[in-house]
Structure 1
Amino acid sequence: MMKRKALQRITVAAALGAIGFGLVGSLPAQEAPKPKKAGALADEANKVIGNEINDKQRKAVEKGLAWLAKRQGEQGNFQQQGYSNHAGITSLAGLAFMQAGNLPGRGKYGKEVQAVLDYVLANCQRSGLITSDSSSGPMYGHGFATLFLGEVYGMTGNEEVKEKLQRAVQLIQKTQNQEGGWRYQPAPYDADISVTICQVMGLRAARDAGIKVEKEVVDKAVEYCRRCQNPDGGFNYMAGQGPGGSGFPRSAAGVAALYYAGIFEGKEVENGLNYLKQFIPGKNSGRNEGHYFYGHYYAVQANFLAGGDYWAKWYPAIRDELCNSQQDNGAWSGDFSEDYATAMALIILQMPNRYLPVYAGKGPGS
């Protein structure tokens, strides 16, 4: 255990910086990422495991990306039922394409990524909020859109993206409440763990791309997450609710939030990971609790960053479950809309690609 922790500390410290977000630097524009081969990474904490990517996974990803591309609207958005013109779902779709090695204007789905970028930039308000008229609970979408812009800027150096990203970060920092978290609206009133992780990941992606993030903001977010944790290792939806409110989706979000804020070891992380074990796919995948894709989106990241046996056991299980649940047309059905479920499933399945800095657990200088 101590050896695994030491290796984990080295890897994630390199990814997040000595205190998570404290260091600021600039990243040059990069070429489109190249696929990683098994054994190509020096990282030990989240090293490649045998048979991470198999033929069934490749085919599922190919079908899913092809289906998703057909769903894109003329403005670059993704449309379905009451969630059309949603900046958050559109950003997740963009990240799914980027996880396959595409960048704006480059790669098989470069056109689709560029269209997503155009849509997100068009929905950046003067206040810094990234939203559209039909968005509900805009801070969810804002967090995902900030994450998307952070990845795009970090890999392209686009100056327009940088300007909008800086404003998005400033809005996140201004709307943090006294407890250290965020909620649905861009105002510093109440908070919950679900919206908070969206903002933490947006800040992390921005920091990795060289955008300044205030240390105090991250420190307060960490304390908020800690206050949400229960003795069983799981997390409440909101701080101060008392024990008994643990659940899979919010607990996966809580563990991921700690990692992305720079807390990469300690009892809160280990207890959280142990709590998640009961929801490993094939045993109890968390479907009965709702928010299945949201939960597994964060659970796969938490287990990837934990590395070792956590990753080796979790990823093959969720990979196989998602491949088996894919519809014949290439989509997944689930929470909110097929567009959302499919984007989430594709991001999860493509974690072994290690293309995007935020999902790969690798930051500048690593």
Structure 2
Amino acid sequence: ALMADGNMPGSDPKGRSIQKTLDFILACSTDTGLISADKTSHGPMYGHGFATLFLGEIYGMNNEDPRVRDTLVRAVQLIVNTQNEEGGWRYNPIPYDADVSVTICQVMALRAARNAGIKVPKETIDRAVRYIRDCQNPDGGFRYMIQPGNSAWPRTAAGVATLFYAGIYEDDSISRGITYLENAVGPDSGRMSTISSHYLYGHYYACQVMFIAGGEQWRSWWPVIREDLIRSQSSDGSWNLNTNVGAEYGTAMALIVLQMPKRYLPIFQK
């Protein structure tokens, strides 16, 4: 969230916060390449994906610290090594099962690394694309896993974002996914402001999808979600929407969405 405003590790207050985060993430890197701190109820691959994305953005904006590159390379290799036979990833760093939510984290991390000049095997991306396509339902939405299940707008946003970050920008899967999003939670649906347990998670990916899609889709989507987030900010400056995710997470996600058009982060640069 701080980097989305153009800040980098440095001596000013925001820079010091980013430096502390960088030092922490580097310290959490293991010999296997896994970046993991305390154990979580869902395993470490969510955190690993976001931590690798962070390192990719740091390295892409300033590649002077060799520790960042070395840790990033090992983290990327762990993602490559733990992709399952279907082409996706799940909670733990083993190639067993997979879901859309963890897969988008790994694909965004790989895209950030590749943007920064780190080698990412094409086969890994191709297999991830096949997996995501296999998770799309006939209604255009995406289910949680390859196994039969209902569509939902947050994971549909994640599914379309995965295709975008894999380098696919126009095809039927993307068009049907965006149409599903517009119908489910778009500006004309009357449901964009509905607070749910996945409100911030969903809009984090949905806003990326519409930002990359551009054109009228972005022009109609952006003013509504921008005003909705501004309106839901607490008086202390945080976003604590009572969705069981905490103010720290909520504030960071809201700030990333609100600052996306600045394009300071390499992952958001077109």
TM-score for both structures, normalised by structure 1? 0.70
- Cα deviation, residue 287, structure 1: 3.8
- Given that 1:293 and 1:335 are in contact with CA atoms closer than 8 Å, whether structure 2 keeps it comes out as no
- Cα deviation, residue 203, structure 1: 0.2
Alignment correspondent of 1:133: 38
Alignment correspondent of 1:153: 59
- Cα deviation, residue 288, structure 1: 5.7
- Given that 1:169 and 1:203 are in contact with CA atoms closer than 8 Å, whether structure 2 keeps it comes out as yes
In 1, Cα distance between the equivalents of 2:205 and 2:26? Answer: 25
Letter of the aligned partner of 1:135 in structure 2? T
Unaligned runs of 5+ in 2: none
In 2, Cα distance between the equivalents of 1:208 and 1:337? Answer: 31
- Cα deviation, residue 281, structure 1: 5.2
In structure 2, the residue corresponding to 1:350 is in which secondary structure? helix
Alignment correspondent of 1:114: 19
Compute the RMSD of aligned alpha carbons: 1.4
Residue deviations 1:221-253, cap 9 Å, x none?
0000000001111100001315xx100110000
Alignment correspondent of 2:231: 324
- Closer/same/farther in 2, CA of residues 230 and 208 from structure 1, 3 Å limit: same
Alignment correspondent of 2:4: 99
- Is the counterpart of residue 226 in structure 1 residue 133 in structure 2? yes
- Given that 1:253 and 1:299 are in contact with CA atoms closer than 8 Å, whether structure 2 keeps it comes out as yes
In 2, Cα distance between the equivalents of 1:335 and 1:350? Answer: 24
Unaligned runs of 5+ in 1: 1-95, 362-366
Letter of the aligned partner of 1:151 in structure 2? E
- Cα deviation, residue 134, structure 1: 3.6
Alignment correspondent of 1:346: 255
Letter of the aligned partner of 2:269 in structure 1? A
- Closer/same/farther in 2, CA of residues 290 and 146 from structure 1, 3 Å limit: same
Letter of the aligned partner of 1:258 in structure 2? L
Alignment match of 2:49 (pick from 143, 157, 167): 143
- Cα deviation, residue 184, structure 1: 0.3
Letter of the aligned partner of 2:52 in structure 1? T
- Cα deviation, residue 356, structure 1: 0.8
Residue deviations 1:144-184, cap 9 Å, x none?
00000000011110211000000000000000000000000
In 2, Cα distance between the equivalents of 1:120 and 1:277? Answer: 37
- Cα deviation, residue 269, structure 1: 0.5
- Cα deviation, residue 263, structure 1: 1.1
- Closer/same/farther in 2, CA of residues 99 and 288 from structure 1, 3 Å limit: closer
Letter of the aligned partner of 1:319 in structure 2? R
Alignment correspondent of 2:95: 188
- Cα deviation, residue 290, structure 1: 2.5
In 2, Cα distance between the equivalents of 1:335 and 1:277? Answer: 26
Alignment correspondent of 2:158: 253
In structure 2, the residue corresponding to 1:221 is in which secondary structure? helix
- Is the counterpart of residue 295 in structure 1 residue 202 in structure 2? yes
- Cα deviation, residue 354, structure 1: 0.7
In 1, Cα distance between the equivalents of 2:267 and 2:236? Answer: 30
